[in-house]
Amino acid sequence: MDQSELRDWEARCIQEEPPACRAACPLHVDVRAFMEAVAAGKTAAARKVLERAMPLPGVLARICDHPCEAACVRRDLGGPLAVGDLERFCVKSTPAGPKPLVLPAKGRRAAVLGAGLCALTAAWDLVRKGYGVAVHFQEDAPGGWLRGLPEPLLPPDVLAAEVAMLARMGVAFAAGQELSQAFLASVRSDCDAVFVEYGAGATPDRACGLCPASRDAVDPVTLAMADPGLFFGGWPGPDGAFSPISCAADGRRAASGMDRGMSGASLTASREKEGAHPTRLVTRTTEVPPVPRMVPADTRAGFTAAEAVAEAARCLSCECLECVKICAYLERYQGYPKTYARRFYNNAAIVKGNHQANKMINSCSLCGLCTEVCPGSFSMADLCLTARRDMVERGKMPPSAFEFALLDMAESDSEACALAMPGPGAETCGHLFFPGCQLAGASPDKVGLVYDHLRDNLPGGVGIRLGCCGAPGRWAGREELFAASMARFRADWERLGRPRVVAACATCLKTLVEAAPDIPAVSLWRVLAGETGLPGNAPLAGAGSRALAVHDPCSSRHDPQSQAAVRDLLSRLGVT
């Protein structure tokens, strides 16, 4: 497996895709981790989750208009998680964390015009990346429209504390600055990049100030116009109101563009996952009971600690893991197929392979159930087979790994056991009964009875072939053994006049159909049910009084006709 194949495998498993809430949050707050912490009563840990993603967390967590809630997977199961209210509860009930990490100075300077949420977010992100940042604004204190919010929603001391934190991080604030075109021109000549917030330099007849009136005037990815040194953001919505999270997202996007521009990187490359984006994560909810959203007893005060815990406990901790839930093998190795693909890839670099990884590669039963339940149809069986073939090619397959199956196959194909002949006295045959090595080995008497029955009831003569279909060679990654086995089968089939193969074993049938689609093959059970009937056609004595479980083999998963034939035969025998 090379790197690009690994990437292909990894892309098929969506377990590491973000939950819907996180993908819908323009700042990608890890809502799932936040909910887990709140539900566990660990409010300080929950605040750390917010502080990892949010600029000015004390402010933003109080006022965010929470687009994440509309995306919450719980929305039709009692209502979306109250993310906004819980974030507010969290920052109200815990002290702010330490000063965020600021990278060493890069020796470049950025100017921010305006001091609303968008501008302060841009300043927050830029100073953390090591840029010298000065915020220029016309008013006597920073905050812009934040200062007009009702005090219970955003107390002035909370805003002041975040501004003080920005200052501690190294941001310089210049109040009472007239923001004119001339001033803009002067900061542009002084600084390496400039951000202009909507409303900075506003006049009575131009509310947007130095910023374009509409977002449509700028590149939606970079928030720059033709000149990449100048960035804009913070427009109000169509109703004229400011969305806190959109303003913060604009500030972050602009800061990212400024950083790219100042460090000589592409302004546009690999930015698809910035801001809100779709997620491929699928979380099965069919068995999740609805639980109504918690409403605080005192809606003005918000959640109490107990109410917050109860509300956060409704979170489904969205993830996939559908395959791990149904497969003991996948569960045992404490990961999921994406991580297993990485382990297999890394294992290939170790001279003899790691014992644990080798065991894992060779332990999948190749049943294919994971593929059935996986939203991305990830085939662990194909991944394991690829890894096994790779181990064989590199001489790393432990000899003991498939010793039993390969010896069994060799024995079955040996001169002592293998057989391919037409019916007595004939050169060719119209049908070839192929019981497979297991049935022939375990119940040779029944093979004889069935063969006689087929010969008595099928037209055109019935031959028989004993031997292996070659599947163990494929399971062991020994493609040359599998190919040799199929070649023997084909030679026998040609010699016997290209008969229709009647296979008793679902795995033999599947192997033949997949590897030699030109050889007509059908399951014995369909022939018995639809063409020859059962020997004697009589119900079994006492069959109706016994419980019987039918286990369809994995290899018949996509063969509903054979499955139906087995049930049909049982009902004819009196099993209900």
Q: Tell whether residue 51 is a contact of ligand SF4 (CB under 6 A).
A: no
Least distance from ligand SF4 to the Cβ atom of residue 280, Å: 9
Amino acid found at 122: A
Binding part of the chain for ligand SF4, among 61-69, 102-110, 134-142, 494-502 by CB under 6 A, reads 61-69
If one asks whether residue 252 binds ligand SF4 (CB under 6 A), the answer comes out as no
State yes or no: residue 15 binds ligand SF4 (CB under 6 A).
yes
Find the part of the chain contacting ligand SF4 (CB under 6 A) among 62-70, 128-136, 452-460, 538-546: 62-70
Site string for ligand SF4, 345-374 (x = CB under 6 A): ----------------------------xx
Least distance CB 54 / ligand SF4 (angstroms): 6
CB-nearer residue toward ligand SF4: 81 or 208: 81
**93 is written with which tokens?**
């009930």
19 binds ligand SF4 (CB under 6 A): yes
Shortest Cβ 22–ligand SF4 spacing (Å): 7
What are the DSSP E strand ranges found in 418-551? 419-421, 431-434, 462-466, 500-503, 521-523
Residues 6+ apart with CB under 8 A from 223: 231, 232, 233, 250, 253, 254, 257
Q: Is 63 in the site for ligand SF4 (CB under 6 A)?
A: no
Distance CA 364, CA 385 (A): 9
C-alpha dihedral (339, 345, 347, 348), degrees to nearest 10: 170
The number of residues making up the chain comes to 576
Residue 44 — φ and ψ, nearest 5°?
-65, -40
* 469, 471, 500, 531, 576 from 503: Cα distances, Å: 10, 14, 10, 14, 26
Which listed range, 59-67, 163-171, 286-294, 497-505, lies at the site for ligand SF4 (CB under 6 A)? 59-67
Q: Does 337 bind ligand SF4 (CB under 6 A)?
A: yes
Which residue's CB is nearer to ligand SF4, number 374 or number 420? Answer: 374
Which position among 18, 21, 89, 390 is part of the footprint of ligand SF4 (CB under 6 A)?
Answer: 21
Cβ neighbours of residue 260 closer than 8 Å, sequence gap 6 or more: 266, 267
37 binds ligand SF4 (CB under 6 A): no
What type of residue sits at position 20?
Answer: A
CB 193 within 8 A of CB 106: no
DSSP strands (E only) in 340-435: 419-421, 431-434
Report the alpha-carbon distance of residue 440 to residue 448 in Å, rounded. 9
CA neighbor of 92 nearest in space, from 253, 301, 265, 251: 301
> Residue 393: which residues within 8 A CB-CB, separation 6 or more?
none
Q: Which among 10-18, 132-140, 459-467, 560-568 is the span making contact with ligand SF4, rule CB under 6 A?
A: 10-18
Say which amino acid occupies 158.
V
Residue whose CB is less far from ligand SF4, 36 or 413: 36
Least separation in angstroms between CB 172 and ligand SF4: 27
Q: Which of 315, 348, 360, 496 is close enough to bind ligand SF4 by CB under 6 A?
A: 315
Q: Is 20 in the site for ligand SF4 (CB under 6 A)?
A: yes
Among 316, 367, 369, 406, binds ligand SF4 (CB under 6 A): 316
Residue 528's identity, in one-letter code, is L
**Smaller CB distance to ligand SF4: residue 89 or 493?**
89
Beta bridge partners of 420: 465
Tell me whether residue 325 or residue 446 sits nearer to ligand SF4 (CB atom).
325
Binding pattern for the stretch 377-396 against ligand SF4, x by CB under 6 A and - elsewhere = -x------------------
Residues 78-117 that bind ligand SF4 (CB under 6 A): 81, 83-84, 87
Q: Tell me how far CA of residue 139 lies from CA of 132, 199, 202, 211, in angstroms.
A: 22, 12, 11, 17
Burial class (CB in 10 A: 0-12, 13-18, 19+), 292: exposed
Q: Which is nearer to ligand SF4, 323 or 468 (CB)?
A: 323
Stretch that binds ligand SF4, among 14-22, 106-114, 440-448, 456-464 (CB under 6 A): 14-22
Among 72, 384, 501, 519, binds ligand SF4 (CB under 6 A): 72
Structure token pair of residue 342: 């990485």
Q: Count of residues binding ligand SF4 (CB under 6 A)?
A: 40
The span of 28-36, 187-195, 254-262, 530-538 binding ligand SF4 (CB under 6 A) equals 28-36
Q: Which residues contact 551 (CB under 8 A, 6 or more apart)?
A: none
Between 280 and 495, whose beta carbon lies closer to ligand SF4? 280
Whole-number Cα distances in Å, 61 to 53, 90, 156, 405, 543: 11, 8, 15, 61, 68
**Interface with ligand SF4, residue 336, by CB under 6 A:** yes
* Phi/psi at 170 (5° precision): 120, 5
| Among residues 33, 68, 117, 508, the one that binds ligand SF4 under rule CB under 6 A | 68
3-state SS, residue 523:
strand
Nearer to ligand SF4, 67 or 422 (CB): 67
In the list 51, 192, 250, 322, the residue contacting ligand SF4 (rule: CB under 6 A) is 322
CB 248 within 8 A of CB 28: no
Using CB under 6 A, pick the residue from 9, 18, 32, 481 that binds ligand SF4.
32
Residue 426 is encoded by which pair of tokens?
């004939």
**Structure token digits, residue 10:** 């990894």
Q: Are 489 and 469 in contact (CB under 8 A)?
A: yes
Binding site for ligand SF4 (CB under 6 A): 13-15, 19-21, 25, 27, 29, 31-32, 35, 64, 66-68, 72-74, 81, 83-84, 87, 245, 315-318, 320-323, 336-338, 373-376, 378
